Amino acid sequence: MTADNPATAVRLLRLRTRLLSLASIHSDRRVNEALGEVGARKWHYAVLATLEEFGPASQADLSDRTRIYRSDLVNVITELAAQDLVERSPNPADRRQNVISLTGKGTDRLLELDKVLRGAEEDFLAPLDAGQREQLGELLAILTRDRGH
Amino acid sequence: MTADNPATAVRLLRLRTRLLSLASIHSDRRVNEALGEVGARKWHYAVLATLEEFGPASQADLSDRTRIYRSDLVNVITELAAQDLVERSPNPADRRQNVISLTGKGTDRLLELDKVLRGAEEDFLAPLDAGQREQLGELLAILTRDRGH
DNA sequence: CTGATATCAGCATAACTGACATCG
DNA sequence: CCGATGTCAGTTATGCTGATATCA
């Protein structure tokens, strides 16, 4: 039934950097599939979640908080605005900036995506028990902390 | 001194799929840098390591073992052959196949890349103690086991 | 003038797909 | 005829860079 892949070299099985890449590919694929089914992308979620927690913000601020490049953020905001999930309006206090704010519809969407992502994460983490999932979260948090672009 | 990035939304900090992506980006970057300094790529290592452990093989077999697509393997083998690290010769027993075999020079190169990768992995895993590194390896092994393309 | 902002154009890499001639 | 193999061409996504006009 399954492909029954031949064995992988021990060197490769022991390479944690490689395992990380493979795991990330699986994870991303699952997440993108799940979000794609409802017409969303990872970056959409990151922006909505950030707006919900910190309130209206400039695109530069959103870029810093989400680690999405400014140049990429432009399109993300445009997409979200086209769906009325966020509002983009000029900042009267600083005419260089836009103020991006979450709409009611955007909040609903965020809650919907919360569920979608919980489902995708559950699929991906299925082989791990609760304790192992906690461990993984902690280890990854350490590895990603204090590491800028 | 440091950028002193503003806080990230809790939703994002808790998303293990996101942490995994970020960690993988850091890890891949470090590995690619290190390999790049000696003119190699991840795929080169995967092929050399597989040949060393299992002996001469067809490209299809190498593809299955390394998870490198057949179409991409073609160039990888060409690059390795150009450096005399592997030999590509037709298989008389099955004229569709090539037999790829490791050269002496290829074995030396593998040992060199072993060191390079140990260094890169060490850099990346620096924030973790020995026990945590073991944990991470085990968790990732579980998550990548039995998951085909 | 310096520096930040939003925007646009584009690059490099990597994962991935499809097609095809050759051969078992 | 069916299926596997090596090869080629090409797509898509994404992380990232550089340049520019506007404005504090």
Q: What is the mean pLDDT of residues A101-105?
A: 98
For chain A, the straight-line distance linking the first and the last C-alpha, in angstroms and rounded, comes to 43
d(CA A33, CA A41): 9
- Band the pLDDT of A5: cuts 50, 70, 90: confident
In chain A, alpha helices (H): 10-14, 16-37, 42-54, 59-66, 70-82, 104-125, 130-144
Judge contact between B110 and B48, C-beta under 8 A.
yes
What is the pLDDT, as a whole number, of residue B147? 72
Delimit the domains of chain B by residue range. 15-144
The number of beta carbons lying within 10 Å of the beta carbon of residue A32 is 14
d(CA B80, CA B106): 8
Structural fold of domain A15-144:
Arc Repressor Mutant, subunit A (1.10.10)
For chain B, the average pLDDT equals 95
Instruction: Using a CB–CB cutoff of 8 Å, tell me whether B60 touches chain A.
Output: no
- Band the pLDDT of B2: cuts 50, 70, 90: very low
Q: Is the pLDDT of residue B106 over 60?
A: yes
Residue A21 contacts strand C, CB under 7 A: yes
Rg of chain B in Å (alpha carbons): 19
The pairing of beta strand B86-90 with beta strand B98-102: antiparallel
Q: What is the mean pLDDT of residues A73-100?
A: 97
Judge contact between B20 and A22, C-beta under 8 A.
no
- Name the residue facing B15 among A11, A117, A135 (closest C-beta): A117
The pairing of beta strand A86-90 with beta strand B86-90: unpaired
Instruction: Using a CB–CB cutoff of 8 Å, tell me whether B23 touches chain A.
Output: yes
What is the pLDDT, as a whole number, of residue A37? 94
User: Would you call A5 and B65 a contact, using CB atoms and an 8 Å cutoff?
Assistant: yes
